[in-house]
Chain A
Amino acid sequence: DQQVKQNSPSLSVQEGRISILNCDYTNSMFDYFLWYKKYPAEGPTFLISISSIKDKNEDGRFTVFLNKSAKHLSLHIVPSQPGDSAVYFCAASLQGGSEKLVFGKGTKLTVNP
């Protein structure tokens, strides 16, 4: 039973355009959400996060939107750059200060020059 779902295994966009990566979750007890970026042969690196008390968090070209009623979050990258080509993982943690993260299966983003 997958609690964090990334239904698009891959996404291809043109350089300069917007990339939108989606993530759905089923557990209403999740209260903190994170996006990680992973290049081949490297470990995942933290990108951006959002608390359930917010609906948007922005950091430079990266913005995460949270729709709690729909149990949906999305990562927007504007403008997309070839260096953004990587696998993006959505992750969530439970209320109560738990450090445990539940990860989605990832979406491979390819940004074409």
Chain B
Amino acid sequence: NAGVTQTPKFQVLKTGQSMTLQCAQDMNHEYMSWYRQDPGMGLRLIHYSVGAGITDQGEVPNGYNVSRSTTEDFPLRLLSAAPSQTSVYFCASSDPGGYSGKNIQYFGAGTRLSVL
């Protein structure tokens, strides 16, 4: 069972370049989200989706776009990369159904991004 898969694991960009971070889950989870982790800052929510076709902004959405065309995939797009977007990015998914499993989000292994 693959769970949440993120690609690539590492990426180096130049300022102004664009790229898409991929996230796929095979657990049929409705809820998916993107976080960034910076030293001393914990995990901060970028964007999230409660189902296919529905997305919304989190705490730090500027500079990022998302879309959710299928239940399985939730890509994160950087339109014009900036050094401030150097971070580790995590994708997560969860199944809102069932109180025993409420809010238990399953995370991918992360993408380490450097913007020069």
Query: Which residues of A pack against B, CB within 8 Å?
Result: 6, 9, 32, 34, 36, 41-46, 49, 89, 91, 93, 97, 99-106
Q: List 12 A-B contacts (CB under 8 A).
A: A6-B42, A43-B90, A46-B104, A89-B42, A97-B102, A99-B31, A99-B33, A100-B48, A100-B58, A101-B45, A101-B103, A105-B41
**Chain B residues touching A, range:** 20 to 34
Across the interface, which residues of B come within 8 angstroms of A32, CB to CB?
Answer: 102-103
The reply to whether the CB of B107 lies closer than 8 angstroms to some CB of chain A is: yes
Which single residue of chain A is at the shortest CB-CB distance from B4?
A43
A46 in contact with B42 (CB, 8 Å)? no
CB distance from A44 to the nearest CB of B (A): 5
Counting chain A CB atoms within 10 Å of each CB, which of B41, B43, B58, B109 scores highest?
A: B43
Q: Chain A contacts of B109 at CB under 8 A? A: 41-43
What's the nearest-Cβ distance from chain A to residue B55, in Å?
13
